[in-house]
Structure 1
Amino acid sequence: MNEEAFDVFYGASVSRLIGQLYVMTGDFAEAQDVVQEAFVRAWEHRAELDRDGAPEAWVRTVAWRLAVSRWRRVRTALSFARRQGPSATVPPPDTEHVLLVQALRSIPAAQRRAVVLHHLCDLTVKEVADETGCPVGTVKAQLSRGRAALARLLADTELDPRTGRLLEVGA
């Protein structure tokens, strides 16, 4: 089957196949997904489809097998999840983390990257310069401006911009 013939075949049968798989699976989005995947595979085997004489049946069979495979994977994953028991409760992020992330999001990206690499990843100024492709002087300027911006942003919060820790109430 050449490309033009495949395009005609696709246009003539895709809606019908999606409808059939929808009825078979009960899930319209799933039917769309598996039919599209089956057509991708049919495209790769279009020369064989021409000889087969039943390209629509081939696509429908492949789509059905894809749907069954997905169900099996989901069933296996659910079974595994049930055996693991209830998930552990995850505590919410602490206040100082939230304040610091908000402040970091407020400064320019270049300054944020320099501050994170230097202060959180413990890279030297030279290592930050190498990683970012900036001169050392530029990194120093970004760090200086970034720290100053963070200090201004965190000045009205309970987070001490010098230590990154919450200030004691009444301190």
Structure 2
Amino acid sequence: MTDEEFAVFYGHTVRRLTGQLYVMTGDFHEAQDVVQEAFVRAWDRRHRLRQGPGPEAWVRTVARRLAVSRWRRVLRGRQLGRRSTAATSVEGPDPGMVDIAAALRRLPLRQRHCAALFYVCDLSVEAVAAETGLAVGTVKSHLSRARATLTSYLAPQVHSAEAHDG
């Protein structure tokens, strides 16, 4: 990938990838940080990015792994008695997105990851399986469980909104 192609690739994908990582992590600033770090790493290997599952999947995977590594470091720090810094408050997305993001955060990690790749990233079940290293049947199972769990989390909010509208 040439420098110009990389610039176009970055321009077309940075917002989408940040949104996808926000859904996966639940923290917008963290999503921005890990996506930017993943793009820095992609820049260093831009001439080889056409191989494999594609540059967008590569950047998304690196960003997700960076987020998991950061999460583990914070956990270890808390376990050792160190204080983690508090995130500053910024204006967030609309309330409906907050409800969905909160419901997604309640899912087990693998279900959340599969659901985010399938619903937010719009990947096929086969592509989700390839990106996560899971079997297609396992991905389908995670998606089914995620849908059922999300329905139970979000259904009371839908019913209460309908009652207020009626």
Larger RCO: Structure 1 or Structure 2 (Cα < 8 Å, ≥ 6 residues apart)?
2
Q: TM-score by structure 2 length?
A: 0.48
> Rg bigger for which structure?
1
Q: TM-score by structure 1 length?
A: 0.47
